[in-house]
Chains A and B, each alone.
Chain A
């Protein structure tokens, strides 16, 4: 490999590798990252993780570590003053605007002391190295610091790609830091726990559509705590509970990953959706600990920067160790004059974050703006200087990355920020020895390696051997929302399976040249494809089939179901095994058929069916038989039973006049219903209506039969809370299940098969009843275990109109 001029030991070492070897390592890195797939939801137009870690020497790390630790303490002390005595503002040193013009200052938590005593548990600071070798801070994240999960994933990837370098360079490990974080979260609700009430830590994540969600799932899983959404929380009697299938479970600490304003629709932003109504009262009552505490968003205000050295002296009695990029507040006349004398040397930012989006507004680099834009900026500053800060342009030292260039992949210099993390506890502050390197211009991320002088001890978050764990078969507390997602996933899996089998049945027939002469084809088409495609059926069956299988905008089509399966996989990420998640994440993402012709669809359909088989097998092999498994099973069986019943109804309740069509329909039903093999083994080649119906409807030894599904449904529902079948009175769910099962077992197939006026009336009637019953069973499950009553918005009871003045 070509080497670049560098002092970097890592780059020197890999230069000794062959190009092939190095590419192989890069491939390994990307495989690890792909499996975790955080990249699809990056905030920084992510283009992958660079294979070269950013290496920090022991010497430099001492400086950085001290600086980061001090800032974490400083911001905790600052929050304590802001939401307490406001000493800093009573001596004429700080502008009042910093608090009262600041949309991030959260009035409702003023004078509320956090349970556990800390405002800032997890802190993070973005740092850059200047060309002169010094380090400066460019931003702090103190509300919901992002990137911790990504740093973890990058570390796993890069260290697996270069394990021998990772060890020989004595790279510091990250696990100890996560242990500290977890201990801190546990510690916070100590006071509550001592009252003998609670011992639970949960991670409150933002909704599944939030780009941060994937990372939140990684963190929750690594810390071993449940991931909940607002909807999983219930507040009763000013206590926070998690809604689970086993009832309400009290929560001690909420590690929140949602912004300040979105935590309680009663007292904060009323658009905070299904927020935990009444959380503020609960926090005030000291009944729950929150990390980071509510209101810490104010600490991220850009306008604090110019005042930090002074604040540090006031609050900690120390000099600020890690300086910010030079920043001036333009509300200060002397500073404004200095900046305006040479605006091209400055970057302009709003002093406060945007009140609606919680985001900083886009900084404006004067030197690179058009003349018109420059004039507009100057005028805006002139009108309200106190709304602006100016940040000095800086020269950042570059680091090497390995990336594609026009001449093939090579070492290329790039600008990188380093995001470091620290965790405060009552007695100490710990800085994570590592971090997230963020390359400029969306070029991706880097792992950060901090080198140790001493050999690095191995440490794992797994419980120490000395700690005895009592074996347990309990399945923990399944949040109702997770149960609902599993139930829907189960239904979608069965739906996609049946859709693919019908589509395959059609595609196979269409790819036969004599398809025009196949009398059963119109029946299957009508039975299988949904309403949307109906109009196309007559003229162009092939096109209708493609519309059904491939079109993403067909809401009754297969792609919609496949998309939902992948979304549900994402939402369930913290509850299912890594392997299962991998399959769900790639569910139905196979090469799309190239070229025309129904036959071209067959390989794709085969992929979908094999994904479906793989997921079923993995779930059966890897999921313990707890509630998670049960809800997945309930969903699968309900959907499978309904779809099989519909298939029989659509193809067999009306009889064609000629025997040929009749036989071909029987053949199709068996084929799509997956009973052809069993049938031939039992009855040979002769197709007759009675054994066909028996096999698909009542035969409990056939795993595709409706009776088998219902029997399994009953089995799975046996262990659901409140559905104990040994009790004398049957639950409504069990009663319904028993009725369906009895009807299937007692069904007189001979009778059902009778045809009158080309119509099997008895059969159709029975099938309709069964479909209704099973849909009712689905409703009961939803109502008993999964439903959440809808919540109305905030209501102001007020009339401020006067009758007479």
Chain B
């Protein structure tokens, strides 16, 4: 049960003064059964003139705020201490056949299935495409238990695609990733989402952080970590299971959850619309330290 200290800082420097800006942050940690936030704080500079915290339809805590004084420098920093543990995954062979899962969610009968159904259809960054479905079907043979098939799919994405920073733009569609077989964690998550949803199986985009390991004998570089993305799928009679196609592992005590949605668009960590400003430079630094 490791405890992590997480520092996440976003800094914008603008060439011209920004007159007003409006921002939306998905960086307040949500309640998750396998995590316990010991402390969490936010610093915003300059001071927002007004802010509003709310829950979105996915249950995330969203912070909307605006800055109405002229500024050329903007800084948003979160610091948190969190206790994380892994959850026991279901036994792959004993989970429900995948066709039954999609059938179950067609006409939900309670809060839980209605919530799961929300993640079973195409979304703006994960549209439906035949090639993606065919790729998924190679793992989803008839009547195969859902978790068994999903695990194999994760492994195939990990094996078939090469981790290549800079090869894709933000928001590339699943079929583009499948064609190029290159990308970063966000892309692999979107590909896996596209696969499961093409079979009307529920799949969430999970945004958060990952514990990183320094090379043997070298000190870890401060700020060199990054935000991470993976997915989770709903297994009836068990709950949601997290899968990380970038690393071919299940989400465990090295994955720190921040927010989830249908795709990246629902949980972009920090976005904004500014008036004025001209060109800008952006610096994001993330640091995940193990405390115990």
Contacts and interface: CB of A to CB of B under 8 A. Distances in A.
Nearest to B133: A383
Contact of A801 (B49, B165, B276, B280): B165
Residue of A94, A95, A796 most packed against chain B (CB within 10 A):
A796
B66 A796 contact: no
Interface string B43-82: 0000001101011110000001010100000001000000
Contact of A792 (B118, B163, B227, B273): B273
Nearest to B166: A801
A217 to B, nearest CB: 28
A89 interface: yes
B290 interface: no
A266 B22 contact: yes
B186 A800 contact: yes
A101 B213 CA distance: 40
Interface stretch (B32-40, B87-95, B103-111, B145-153): B103-111
Interface residues on A, range: 35 or more
A278 interface: yes
Given A97-B106, A277-B22, A284-B52, A266 B228 contact: no
B225 interface: yes
A267 B270 CA distance: 12
B284 interface: yes
B186 A89 contact: no
A798 B268 contact: yes
A387 to B, nearest CB: 9
A384 to B, nearest CB: 8
Given A100-B120, A266-B24, A797-B10, A805 B105 contact: no
Contact of A90 (B105, B110, B224, B229): B110
A107 B263 CA distance: 13
A235 B24 CA distance: 15
A795 B184 contact: no
A266 B106 contact: no
Contact of A795 (B54, B186, B274): B274
A375 B61 CA distance: 49
A802 B210 contact: yes
Contacts of A799: 226-227, 284, 286
Interface in A76-106: 86, 89-97, 99-101
Contact of B114 (A96, A108, A798, A801): A96
B109 A91 contact: yes
B52 A792 contact: no
Contact of B271 (A92, A95, A266, A281): A266
A402 interface: no
Contacts of B284: 797-799
A804 interface: yes
Contacts of A97: 106, 121
B280 A281 contact: no
Contact of A278 (B22, B76, B213): B22
Interface string A512-552: 00000000000000000000000000000000000000000
Interface in A233-289: 235-238, 265-267, 277-278, 280-281, 284-285
Most buried by A among B10, B66, B68, B210: B66
Contacts of B166: 801
A794 B286 CA distance: 22
A55 to B, nearest CB: 46
B236 interface: no
A800 B185 contact: yes
Interface of A: 86, 89-97, 99-101, 107-108, 110-111, 235-238, 265-267, 277-278, 280-281, 284-285, 355, 789-805
29 contacts: A90-B111, A95-B106, A96-B120, A97-B106, A101-B122, A107-B56, A236-B20, A237-B68, A266-B22, A277-B22, A281-B64, A791-B274, A792-B276, A795-B272, A795-B274, A795-B280, A796-B268, A797-B10, A797-B76, A797-B269, A799-B226, A801-B165, A801-B166, A802-B185, A802-B225, A803-B224, A804-B224, A805-B246, A805-B247
For the complex of A and B, list the 3 residue pairs with the smallest distance between their C-beta atoms, beginning with the closest.
A96-B117, A101-B121, A110-B57
Given A90-B114, A795-B271, 13 more contacts: A90-B108, A91-B109, A100-B121, A107-B56, A107-B266, A110-B57, A284-B54, A795-B12, A795-B280, A798-B284, A803-B224, A804-B212, A804-B224
